[in-house]
A = this chain, B = another copy of it.
Amino acid sequence: MTPTGEVVLGIDPGTAVTGYGVVRRDARGTPSLVECGVIRTRADQALPRRLHEIHEGVSELIARHRPTTLSVEGVFYAKNVRTTVVLGHTRGVILLAGEAAGLRITEFSPAEIKKAIVGRGAATKEQVQFMVAQLLRLKSPPQPADAADGVAAALCALLGAQLPTLDSLPTLRRPTPSSPRRS
């Protein structure tokens, strides 16, 4: 739980596309979206150059929005171990940017974020996006999907257990994803 008025920077790390979302909670406890987007790096560049760009991008977001908390999505253990290890490099420079700025750093697994936002650790991507839009009173989920994942990580840290879940909002239209996936 964070103090009123707090700003959280949420990050969904990826070597090619890192999604981010900046969410603020006002004095009444209502969360609102400040900014979201993605940091893209080019696959034809060497890994150190890509890491540098991600680190610069995250550091710039921290300098601009002055969050008190950095919320980073945990490692998803991909089938390809090499992919997971490269993702570790990316997370390393993101955590470094937060630590260097003196931020409180929280890490949530993908399942924890889904559980917090939707109420189920096995929720689909579409359900997470739907709830993110509902919680922030957006007409549609943040785009691209990686940005929405960054926003979800921020919401997870900002509101934690106080979030309403998909199941507690029975009067809302629920998304009916065409291809349910389990994490």
Contact = CB atoms under 8 A, between A and B. Distances in A.
Interface of A: 46-49, 51-52, 55, 75, 77, 81, 84-93, 95-96, 98-100, 105
A108 B100 CA distance: 29
A99 B75 CA distance: 24
Given A48-B98, A49-B99, 17 more contacts: A47-B95, A48-B99, A48-B105, A51-B92, A51-B95, A52-B96, A52-B100, A55-B96, A75-B85, A84-B85, A84-B88, A88-B88, A88-B92, A89-B92, A89-B95, A91-B92, A92-B92
Which secondary structure characterizes the binding site on chain A?
Answer: helix
B46 A105 contact: yes
Nearest to A52: B99
A84 B77 CA distance: 11
Q: Which of A85, A100, A105 has the most CB of B within 10 A?
A: A85
A96 B96 contact: yes
The 8 closest A-B pairs by CB, nearest first: A88-B88, A92-B92, A89-B92, A48-B99, A48-B95, A85-B88, A52-B99, A88-B89
30 contacts: A46-B105, A48-B95, A48-B96, A48-B99, A48-B105, A49-B99, A51-B92, A51-B99, A52-B96, A52-B99, A75-B85, A77-B85, A84-B85, A85-B85, A85-B88, A86-B88, A87-B88, A88-B88, A88-B89, A88-B91, A89-B89, A89-B91, A89-B92, A89-B95, A90-B92, A92-B93, A92-B96, A93-B93, A93-B96, A96-B96
Contacts of A87: 85, 88
Contacts of A81: 77, 81, 84
A90 B99 CA distance: 14
